[in-house]
Amino acid sequence: MSIVIAGWVSAVLVFWAFFMKTMIPLRVIAICSNIAFIAYALLGLKYGVFGRVYPILVLHAALLPLNVVRLRQLNRLLGDVREASEDEAIRSLVPYMAAERHAAGDVLFRQGEPANRLYVVRQGRVRFPEIGKVVCAGDVFGEVGLFAPQNVRALSAVCDDDCALYTITREKVHELYYENPKFGFFLIRLVAGLVLENQPAGAAAARV
């Protein structure tokens, strides 16, 4: 009987949904199970058992648009994350950051010290003396040490001239990483770009 087949298909789809490890496949399978259960309930009209299965129709008729909306939200979020620029990510950070000013020659941190803050250069230049690299206005630094297993600085950072910086604590960075997908994706791109930039020279030490 088709109603029995529809019931088993619906049950299998629900069972399958519990094996999904990521949200988009889970929502897709959930939508398929909603449709299957709606078909199962409607077949009850044909076989004269609708009075026993109509709660299933009501439940899955309500869950179907909800799952569709959630799937669209997930796809929209992924699209926003892919299109997010570094400027957008930095701008989203500013409300959580503290402004600091440092004179030329000031040491922001030394090699081997605990990594407890991320920095954005608003004005001036910061040098990493161990490798001679310089960052300037708009650049982000100090991010890799926050996620390194030992949470220590691999390089020192010294102000080349008078600097205006934005800073944010490690705890707040971790909080935003989990709460804001755009920021999390931005950090991943930032770290990956730094690794690729230093790969030819084998300069893995360029992680601050």
pLDDT of residue 206: 47
Residues 6 or more apart whose Cβ sits within 8 Å of residue 70: 27
Task: Confirm whether pTM is higher than 0.75.
Answer: no
Residue with tokens 């608003």: 122
Instruction: Reply yes or no on whether the pLDDT at 38 is more than 90.
Output: yes
Tell me the pLDDT tens digit for each residue of 168-203: 888 887 777 777 666 677 766 666 655 555 554 444
What does the pLDDT look like over 43-66, one tens digit per residue?
A: 888 888 888 888 998 999 999 999
Q: Which two tokens stand for residue 144?
A: 């890799």
Over range 9-22, report the average pLDDT: 83
Q: Which CATH number fits domain 86-198: 2.60.120.10, 3.40.50.300, 1.25.10.10, 3.30.365.10?
A: 2.60.120.10
- CB-based burial label for 33 (10 Å; 0-12, 13-18, 19+): buried
**Structural domain spans, the chain:** 2-83, 86-198
Give the type of residue at 183: F
Q: Which residues contact 116 (CB under 8 A, 6 or more apart)?
A: 146, 151, 169, 170
Give 63-117 pLDDT, tens digit per residue: 999 999 988 887 876 676 566 566 666 666 677 788 999 999 999 999 989 888 8
